[in-house]
């Protein structure tokens, strides 16, 4: 969080200069096409771990001998319903540990309830800082306000960490500047399940939040970190959408690298974001994921963020 202030200031002026090329729209934070009112789902993916969908992004719950860990907490509007379902499905009286994979609203909607109940809330330090300040991104209509103190992460780290609840260990690590500048993966070695957070989705183009530090080549780096953690039988839970494999992580890494290289060519040819969208740099990838315009626009702008001299 030392750099974004400078970078945001620099980008503010660039965005201002490019205002004619950028039409502000109220983009959400989850994959394109997400319906926030869909029914909640619970899917068991390993003996003591389940994925809960429908609350704004994938939420993972893992049972240990003495407790329950949750990775992300869904949107606040769905939190009460989600927590009830999680406790029932996982046969647990409470959530002991909550991980926030990054600061976006669909990840932190259960923080207030669980923080007040005394849960440990683990996140990267940058995520805690983002959740402690007002965030007004150029593509949103409304700012995001800071969370109350009791709802903020209370156990933060910078590089990697591990903990155990009973006999269930969890390893987690930082993915540098990928989807934001505070993304973490969580890995449950006993279940062989890796949770990616918002860096990738399997049901639509992810939001590349360059305003809070994400960038397209960082997504490649983040995927490299997760590829090093996974093995051939690891179940990979993306930010939203169905469970993936390590081979899918490798395929996504290769895809984002190709897209990055194409965008760099357009960047050095002084193209605008609209021209970058028009060049269709994602054309052979995932046509089923829908319109890539928002993803390409934000990915292109993320290059500005990284390559601005004082950024």
Tokens of 71: 């990775």
By beta-carbon proximity to Zn ion, the closer residue of 64 and 239 is 239
By beta-carbon proximity to Zn ion, the closer residue of 64 and 198 is 198
Q: How far is the C-alpha of 164 from the C-alpha of 171, rounded, in Å?
A: 9
Stretch that binds Zn ion, among 22-30, 115-123, 148-156, 270-278 (CB under 5 A): 22-30
By beta-carbon proximity to Zn ion, the closer residue of 101 and 168 is 101
**Which position's Cβ is nearest Zn ion?**
198
We find the least distance from the C-beta atom of residue 271 to Zn ion, in angstroms, to be 26
Residue 127 interacts with Zn ion (CB under 5 A): yes or no:
no
Which of 4, 8, 29, 137 forms a contact with Zn ion (CB under 5 A)?
Answer: 29
Query: What are the angstrom distances between the C-alpha of 283 and each of 189, 222, 272, 286, 288?
Result: 36, 23, 18, 8, 11
By beta-carbon proximity to Zn ion, the closer residue of 179 and 262 is 179
By beta-carbon proximity to Zn ion, the closer residue of 198 and 241 is 198
CB 219 within 8 A of CB 200: yes
By beta-carbon proximity to Zn ion, the closer residue of 67 and 206 is 206
Tokens of 186: 């969580």
Stretch that binds Zn ion, among 43-51, 104-112, 187-195, 241-249 (CB under 5 A): 104-112
Which of 48, 104, 235, 262 forms a contact with Zn ion (CB under 5 A)?
Answer: 104
Stretch that binds Zn ion, among 32-40, 79-87, 197-205, 294-302 (CB under 5 A): 197-205
CB 166 within 8 A of CB 64: yes
Query: What are the angstrom distances between the C-alpha of 195 and each of 41, 58, 209, 298?
Result: 17, 9, 19, 24
State CA 254 to chain mean position distance.
19
- Beta-carbon contacts of 277 under 8 Å, excluding residues fewer than 6 positions away, are 292, 293, 296, 297, 300
By beta-carbon proximity to Zn ion, the closer residue of 29 and 178 is 29
Interacting residues with Zn ion between 234 and 263 (CB under 5 A): none
Q: How far is the C-alpha of 111 from the C-alpha of 100, rounded, in Å?
A: 9
Stretch that binds Zn ion, among 101-109, 134-142, 257-265, 285-293 (CB under 5 A): 101-109
CB 120 within 8 A of CB 144: no
Stretch that binds Zn ion, among 19-27, 97-105, 158-166, 245-253 (CB under 5 A): 97-105
By beta-carbon proximity to Zn ion, the closer residue of 38 and 116 is 38
Q: How far is the C-alpha of 165 from the C-alpha of 96, rounded, in Å?
A: 8
What are residue 123's DSSP bridge partners? 156
Phi, psi of 38 (to 5 degrees): -70, 160
We find the least distance from the C-beta atom of residue 58 to Zn ion, in angstroms, to be 11
Query: What are the angstrom distances between the C-alpha of 123 and each of 138, 155, 159, 174, 242?
Result: 25, 7, 11, 9, 24
Tokens of 23: 């039409």
Residue 198 interacts with Zn ion (CB under 5 A): yes or no:
yes
We find the least distance from the C-beta atom of residue 180 to Zn ion, in angstroms, to be 7
Binding residues for Zn ion, total number by CB under 5 A: 3
Residue 294 interacts with Zn ion (CB under 5 A): yes or no:
no
Binding site for Zn ion (CB under 5 A): 29, 104, 198
């Amino acid at each position: 969080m030392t750099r974004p202030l400078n970078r945001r200031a620099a980008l503010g002026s660039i965005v201002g200069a490019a205002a004619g090329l950028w039409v502000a729209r109220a983009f959400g934070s989850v994959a394109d096409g997400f319906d926030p009112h869909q029914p909640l789902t619970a899917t068991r993916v390993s003996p003591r771990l389940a994925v809960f969908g429908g609350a704004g992004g994938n939420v993972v719950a893992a049972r240990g001998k003495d407790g329950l860990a949750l990775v992300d907490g869904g949107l606040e509007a769905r939190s009460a319903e989600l927590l009830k379902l999680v406790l029932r499905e996982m046969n647990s009286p409470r959530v002991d540990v909550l991980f926030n994979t990054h600061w976006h609203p669909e990840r932190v909607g259960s923080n207030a309830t669980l923080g007040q109940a005394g849960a440990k809330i683990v996140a990267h330090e940058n995520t805690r800082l983002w959740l402690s300040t007002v965030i007004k991104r150029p593509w949103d209509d409304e700012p995001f306000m800071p969370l109350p103190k009791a709802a903020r992460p209370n156990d933060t780290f910078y590089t990697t960490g591990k903990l155990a609840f009973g006999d269930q260990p969890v390893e987690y690590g930082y993915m540098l500047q990928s989807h934001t500048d505070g993304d973490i993966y969580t890995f449950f070695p006993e279940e062989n399940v890796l949770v990616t957070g918002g860096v990738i989705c399997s049901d639509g183009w992810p939001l590349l939040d360059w305003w809070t530090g994400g960038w397209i080549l960082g997504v490649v780096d983040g995927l490299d970190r997760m590829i090093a953690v996974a093995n051939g039988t690891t179940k990979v839970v993306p930010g939203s959408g169905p469970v993936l494999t390590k081979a899918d992580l490798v395929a996504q890494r290769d895809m984002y690298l190709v897209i990055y290289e194409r965008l760099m060519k357009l960047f050095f040819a002084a193209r605008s974001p609209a021209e970058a969208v028009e060049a269709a740099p994602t054309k052979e990838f995932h046509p089923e994921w829908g319109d890539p315009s928002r993803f390409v626009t934000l990915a292109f702008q993320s290059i500005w963020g990284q390559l601005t001299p004082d950024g």
